[in-house]
Amino acid sequence: MMNTRGLSLVELVTVLGIISVGSLVAVPAVLKWKTGADFRGTAARLVSSLQYARSYSYTNCELVVIDFHEKGYEIFVDNGEGNGHAGDWVRNGNERLLVAHQSPASVSIDTNFSSERFRFKGYGRNQPGSIFLNQSNLLNTRIVVNVLGRIRVEY
């Protein structure tokens, strides 16, 4: 008599085939979901950083600059502390860095400000404009900052 406990080779190969077909269907969907989640996370982090910069500026009545560059952005207090120059839009001296963020390589950040910088003024009357986040021309988000400093996200 044959022992009927365990799996035969045919059963094992069949199960492995079913698993491989299932993973062929599931992996692209998971990767697409992860890409979208990374993009939404980058947008949420930028909005949170802008809200923090605005709150800091209004609370302390100081200029807070958001400097966008190819790899991400920096947010700093432009108060001239430590032999720096206040209001020059450049971080120098010992001006306090509030946020430094590196964006994923697939996410590009563009603005329609007069330069790649924006600042919140502690007394209001900010320069209005938009920040555009793009990921491989598939996902797009626009973050709008109005004169009063209100931040709005458009998907």
Could you report the per-residue pLDDT of 82-122, keeping only the tens digit for each? 888 888 999 988 999 999 999 988 899 999 998 889 999 98
Q: Which CATH number fits domain 10-154: 1.10.3720.10, 3.55.40.10, 3.65.10.10, 3.40.50.800?
A: 3.55.40.10
- Reference 56, options 76, 28, 86; nearest CA is 76
Q: Is the pLDDT of residue 80 over 80?
A: yes
Q: What are the residue ranges spanned by the domains of the chain?
A: 10-154
45: pLDDT confidence band, cut at 50, 70 and 90?
Answer: very high
Q: Is the pLDDT of residue 2 over 70?
A: no
d(CA 102, CA 20): 36
